[in-house]
Amino acid sequence: MNAKLEKYLDTIDKNLKPLPTSERVDIVKEIKGSIIEMEQENLSTKQILDRLGNPKDLAKAYLGDLLANGTGFSWNRFLTVCAFYSIVGFSGMFVIPCLAILAPVFIASGFITPILGTIKLADYLLNLNIPYVDYIGIGAGGHSMVSPIPFFFLSILFGVILFYIGKWSWKLLISYCKRVSKTKKDLSI
């Protein structure tokens, strides 16, 4: 087993720390067995990692399965519930607010950037001398380092890139919320 796969197993083990050692070892052995089987099928390391997915998500799934299968009160179940909600809660404190801010900002920037490039180009071509247009562009100290015509095309390119980054961020946010919601429903707590 190569170093990438070992690192993958270590990450899973770290994300299962709140569980008792014996359960954590069993889970890591199970995943290691799956990895060995995939290696015997001559899958590459990348293919194995793609099949297994993100190690943190896999650890969350194991925590969720342990919660869903248990009945009654036990300290292991209690610790598993605490571990699951602390992982989801902690990641949600950063993931949701960041994506909720980044997505609309990138989408708005994707629309505004070409508009500003068009205004700068129109000011240049029609010699309108619109106030503060000199500050639009790539440069420092109020002087653009790129002339208005290339800047117009760059602004369109960057606008498209920013829009798609915003769209991707929004899809990621929705996907994250759906995954957490589905996991919570699966726990039936």
Smallest CA-to-CA distance from 54 within 22, 31, 29, 21 is with 31
Q: How confident is the model at residue 188 (pLDDT cuts 50, 70, 90)?
A: very low
Give the model confidence (pLDDT) of 151-173 as tens digits.
999 999 999 999 999 999 999 98
User: Tell me, what's the pLDDT at 173?
Assistant: 87
Smallest CA-to-CA distance from 91 within 171, 170, 177 is with 177
Vertex 73, ends 82 and 93: CA angle to 5°?
Answer: 15
Give the model confidence (pLDDT) of 16-38 as tens digits.
876 778 888 888 898 899 888 88
Residues comprising the chain, all counted: 189
C-alpha Rg value of the chain to the nearest Å: 25
Tokens of 167: 């769209």
Smallest CA-to-CA distance from 8 within 37, 28, 33 is with 28
Residue with tokens 């950037």: 113
Measured over the CA atoms of residue 160, residue 161, residue 166 and residue 170, the dihedral's sign is: positive
